[in-house]
């Protein structure tokens, strides 16, 4: 069975996590599109498993949470009922980040309703020990989700941005101008100086810069499978937490949080993949070939 060596895998992954599309990675590395897609799926799944198993028992003082939009196949308004059943349409990535270590504590790829908010916040709470200050935007689904996940063990505030009315004949693809923020204390006693979503929103920009599928106004969006979209997110956050030195803390977020003692290389990241197994049919074919030879 033909397999990529670890150095080639690292080269392919290096292209993907720096914002190259799959086809661009094909041209740069010479590896086929199907092989790159399979590598992304296998390593993405391994990264998700590793994150779920080892990013736990975190001491987080200030948690910032947000959600970032993208779509698979087409935007929701253009998706047929049949394609919607296949996972096409709007996809939201929920992100929770430690404001001090810059570690991405939890992420979730899915919808944007209360059920997804509950699952996301429950996962965040399961990874954090001790009392934490939580800040989110004004999305109403957070209200019950945060209370249900943390109970009385958190100080929770929402920060709602206020946007001005767009100018007449405004056709530029950009949001309206932010003219202020409205802070609401939901529970506990959050420190007003640290009620902010700036770090998680800056991380959203990092995500759009490093994952080609998230680049706006291009044809590089996820074309068919929401699973591959989720694999790309898992790979990105593993690289962000363990391999990429953050300019603020001068080490990787995982090192700052005490999860590892060194900067991971891409080769080390690729080792997370399970070793390939030989199928019984391949063994039988090899035995037949030797018998005939």
Look at 53-67, 85-99, 173-187 and tell me which has the smallest mean pLDDT: 173-187
Look at 4-8, 52-56, 151-155, 170-174 and tell me which has the smallest mean pLDDT: 170-174
Structure tokens at 124: 């965040």
Look at 43-47, 186-190, 283-287 and tell me which has the smallest mean pLDDT: 283-287
Greatest CA separation for the chain: 79
**Residue 48 neighbours by CB under 8 Å, 6+ apart:** 230, 231, 234
What are the phi and psi torsion angles at 191 (to 5°)? -75, 120
Q: Band of the pLDDT at 1, cuts 50, 70, 90?
A: very low
Find the helix or strand (DSSP H, E) in which 94 lies.
strand 89-98
Tell me the per-residue pLDDT of 27-38, one tens digit each, with 9 for 90 and over. 999 999 999 999
In sequence order, what DSSP letters do the residues of 26-66 get, joined into one string? HHHH---HHHHHHHHHHHHHHHHHHHHHHS-SB--SEEEEE
Compute CA distances 204 → 186, 198, 207, 225, whole Å.
Answer: 24, 10, 5, 22
Q: Please say whether the beta carbons of 96 and 104 come within 8 A.
A: yes
**Residue 32 neighbours by CB under 8 Å, 6+ apart:** 26
Instruction: Compute the distance between CA of residue 173 and CA of residue 166 in angstroms, rounded to an integer.
Output: 11
Tell me the per-residue pLDDT of 115-147, one tens digit each, with 9 for 90 and over. 999 999 999 999 999 999 999 999 999 999 999
For the chain, domain boundaries? 6-292
Tell me the per-residue pLDDT of 177-234, one tens digit each, with 9 for 90 and over. 777 778 899 999 999 999 999 999 999 999 999 999 999 888 889 998 999 999 999 9
Structure tokens at 88: 């096409």
> What is 6-292's CATH superfamily?
Ribonuclease H-like superfamily/Ribonuclease H (3.30.420.10)
Give the closest residue to 72 by CA, choosing from 223, 280, 201, 287. 223
Kindly report the pTM of this predicted structure. Answer: 0.88
């Amino acid at each position: 069975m033909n397999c990529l060596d670890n150095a080639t895998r690292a080269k392919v992954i290096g292209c993907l996590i720096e914002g190259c599309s799959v086809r661009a990675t094909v041209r740069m590395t010479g590896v086929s599109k199907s092989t790159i897609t399979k590598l992304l799926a296998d390593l993405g799944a391994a990264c998700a498993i590793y994150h779920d198993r080892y990013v736990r028992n975190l001491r987080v003082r200030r948690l910032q949470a947000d959600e970032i939009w993208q779509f698979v196949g087409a935007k929701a308004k253009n998706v047929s009922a049949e394609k919607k059943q296949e996972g096409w349409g709007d996809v939201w990535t929920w992100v929770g980040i430690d404001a001090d270590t810059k570690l991405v504590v939890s992420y979730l790829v899915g919808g944007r309703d209360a059920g997804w908010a509950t699952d996301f916040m429950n996962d965040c709470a399961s990874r954090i020990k001790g009392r934490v200050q939580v800040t989110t935007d004004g999305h109403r689904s957070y209200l019950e989700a945060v209370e249900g996940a943390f109970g009385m063990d958190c100080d929770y505030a929402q920060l709602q941005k206020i946007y001005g009315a767009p100018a007449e004949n405004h056709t530029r693809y950009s949001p309206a101008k932010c003219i202020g923020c409205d802070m609401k204390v939901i529970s506990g006693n959050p420190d007003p100086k640290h009620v902010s979503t700036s770090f998680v929103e800056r991380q959203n920009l990092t995500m759009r810069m490093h994952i080609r599928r998230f680049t706006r106004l291009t044809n590089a969006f996820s074309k068919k499978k929401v699973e591959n979209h989720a694999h790309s997110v898992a790979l990105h956050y593993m690289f962000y937490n363990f391999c990429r030195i953050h300019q603020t803390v001068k080490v990787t977020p995982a090192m700052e949080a005490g999860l590892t003692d060194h900067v991971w290389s891409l080769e080390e990241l690729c080792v997370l993949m399970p070793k390939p197994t030989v199928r019984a049919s391949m063994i039988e074919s090899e035995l037949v070939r030797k018998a005939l030879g």
